[in-house]
Chains A and B, each alone.
Chain A
Amino acid sequence: MSIREKLSGNEAAATALRQMNPDVMAAFPITPSTEIPQYFSKYVSDGRVDTEFVPVESEHSAMSACIGSQAAGARTVTATSANGLALMVEELYIASSSRLPIILSVVNRALSGPININADHSDSMGARDAGWIQLYSEDNQEAYDNLIQAVRIGEHKDVQLPVMVCQDGFITSHAIENIKLEEDEDVKEFVGTYKAEEHLINKGNPIAMGPYDTADYYMEHKYQQNRAMENAKKVIEEVAAEFKEMTGREYGFFETYELEDADYALVLINSAAGTAKETIDKMRAEGKKVGLLKIRVFRPFNRDRLVELLKDVKYVAAMDRSETFSTSGGPVYHETAAALYPETTRPEIISYMYGLGGRDVTIESIESVFNDLMEIEETGEVGERYRYLSLRE
Chain B
Amino acid sequence: MAKEINETMNWKELTPGGTIYTAGNAENFNTGDWRVNKPIFKEDKCIQCLLCAPVCPDTSIPVKDGKRLEFDYDHCKGCAICAEVCPVDAIEMIPEGQDE
Write the residues of chain A forming the contact surface with B, with a CB cutoff of 8 angstroms.
97-99, 160, 197-198, 205-211, 213, 216-217, 219-221, 223-224, 227-228
In the complex, what residues of A have CB within 8 A of residue B66's CB?
Answer: none
In the complex, the answer to whether B11 meets A220 with C-beta atoms within 8 Å is yes
B98 proximal to A (CB < 8 A): no
User: Most A CB atoms within 10 A — which of B9, B14, B16, B21?
Assistant: B16
Q: Mark B14-58, 1 if CB is under 8 A from A, else 0.
A: 101111110100000000000000000000000000000000000
Name A225's closest neighbour in chain B (CB-CB).
B17
A217–B14 touching, CB < 8 Å: yes
Contacts of B23 in A (CB 8 A): 206, 208
Q: How far is the CA of A206 from the CA of B9 in the complex (A)?
A: 22
Asked if B65 CB lies within 8 Å of chain A CBs, one says no
Cβ A198 vs Cβ B14 within 8 A: no
| Interface size counted on chain B using CB atoms at 8 A | 13
Q: Please determine whether B18 and A221 come into contact, CB atoms closer than 8 angstroms.
A: yes
Contact B20 A224 (CB under 8 A): no
Question: A215's closest neighbor in chain B, by CB?
Answer: B7
Q: Which residues on the A side are within 8 Å of B5 (C-beta)?
A: 217
A351 to B18, CA, bound (A): 40
B20 touches A207 (CB 8 A): yes
CB-based contact A210/B14 at 8 Å: no
A221/B14 in contact, CB under 8 A: yes
Q: Judge whether B11 and A210 touch: CB under 8 Å.
A: no
B17 and A221 contact, CB distance less than 8 A: yes
Min CB distance B59 to A, Å, is 18
| Cβ distance A48 to chain B, nearest Cβ, rounded Å | 34
A208/B20 contact (C-beta < 8 A), A216-B7, A217-B7 known: yes
CA distance A228 to B12 in the complex (A): 11
CA distance A197 to B10 in the complex (A): 21
Q: How far is the CB of B55 from chain A (nearest CB, A)?
A: 23
In contact, A99 and B21 (Cβ under 8 angstroms): no
B26 CB, min distance to chain A CBs, angstroms: 9
Cβ B14 vs Cβ A220 within 8 A? yes
25 A/B residue pairs, CB under 8 Å, sorted by A: A97-B17, A98-B19, A99-B17, A197-B16, A198-B19, A198-B21, A205-B21, A206-B23, A209-B17, A209-B19, A210-B18, A211-B18, A211-B20, A213-B18, A217-B5, A217-B14, A219-B11, A220-B10, A220-B14, A221-B11, A221-B14, A221-B17, A223-B11, A224-B14, A224-B16
Across the interface, which residues of A come within 8 angstroms of B19, CB to CB?
Answer: 98-99, 198, 207-209, 211
- B9 contacts which chain A residues (CB < 8 A)? 220
Which of B11, B17, B20 has the most A CB atoms < 10 Å from its CB?
B17
Counting from the closest, the 3 A-B pairs by CB-CB distance are A216-B7, A220-B11, A208-B20
Kindly report which residue of chain A lies nearest to residue B7, judged by CB atoms.
A216
Bound: A197/B21 CA distance, A? 12
In the complex, how many angstroms separate the beta carbon of B13 from the nearest chain A beta carbon?
9
Closest CB of chain A to B75's CB: distance in Å? 14
Give min CB distance, A130 to chain B, whole Å. 14
| B contact residues around A198 at 8 Å (CB) | 19, 21
Residues of A within 8 A of B16 (CB): 99, 160, 197, 224, 228
